[in-house]
Amino acid sequence: MTTQQFGKNGWTPERIGSLVGKTYVITGANSGAGFEASRILLSKGAKVVMLNRNPSKSANAIEALKQSLGQHIDVRFIQVDLAVLESVRNAANELLNTTPIIDALICNGAIAQVAKQHLTVDGFESQLGINHFGHFLLCGLLFDRINEAKGRIVMVGSNAYKMGLKRIKFEDLNFDTKYTAWDSYAQSKLAQMMFGYELQRRIKAAGKNVEVQVCHPGASRTNLLMDTASTFNKMLWAVMSRVIAQSAEKGAWPEVMCATEQGLKPGTLYGPTKRANTVGPVDQNKLESIALDQDMAAKLWALSLDKTSLNWSL
């Protein structure tokens, strides 16, 4: 049984005080949970920098936020394609040149259930490339700036981490032998979460000032599957989401909590707590031991440094 940290009603945005003077960077922020997280943070007076792939959708998202919250809000957009490492480097460089303080980086952007194997320009299976390698490189490039602010990194994982093969398939990362949409997605989210917990351990050992938290949104009504899943899975989710899923706004609560709440614990997974952690009050979830496998995480860290050509001495 998991420990309740926030009582029977769980964490809610009402716990957030003023965020005036704070700057939050969010990947995949023009729709879904990322958009709702932006809205909540902006409503508390924070500045938000969206890292999105699509400029027109980003402009529409910003206009919608201004229509809702007022023209005075401080929100802007930097283009990044997490599937392209060079794009990640360019975005990080622009961010460092324009953003003196980063209080939190929320690694929210993701793709899921890619129906057929697709490789990125850097040669990665697309879900692993975007969900893990792209975010790994971004975190490494921005780490010193976040450390200067004594800020946070929030890894938005998924319950899928405990499904699929339940390991990193180092011998066949791209699933060239037998590709399935589910196994490859599960691997990508496991990798992302293992990276988060490994980063926690390395920061503690190095005495750095960055807090890392890992969460998941549960089952939320977003467009995560609409661009990538098979037609059958899209139709299935369209029906099921009306019955079992919560709103995108509630799906954003765990990542906003992890970016703002004091007293959160390391080695913990935060998210909805009802119906197998798909909906309900936000609090601690039971964390499967695979996510904390230190040997596998160390191997993944070394591999990620090599694949991204990143010099990160943490």
Residues 236 and 181: their CA atoms lie apart, in Å, by: 15
How far, rounded to the nearest angstrom, does the alpha carbon of residue 309 sit from its chain's CA centroid? 22
- The residue assigned the tokens 């926690």 is 200
Task: Give me the amino acid identity at 311.
Answer: N
- Whether 161 is a known active-site residue: answer no
- CA torsion sign for 274, 277, 283, 288 is positive
Residues 228 and 15: their CA atoms lie apart, in Å, by: 36
Which of the residues 24, 185, 197, 270 is marked catalytic?
A: 185
**What are the helix and strand counts (H, E) for the chain?**
9, 8
190 in helix, strand or coil? helix
- CA torsion sign for 307, 308, 310, 313 is negative
Q: Which residues are catalytic?
A: 185
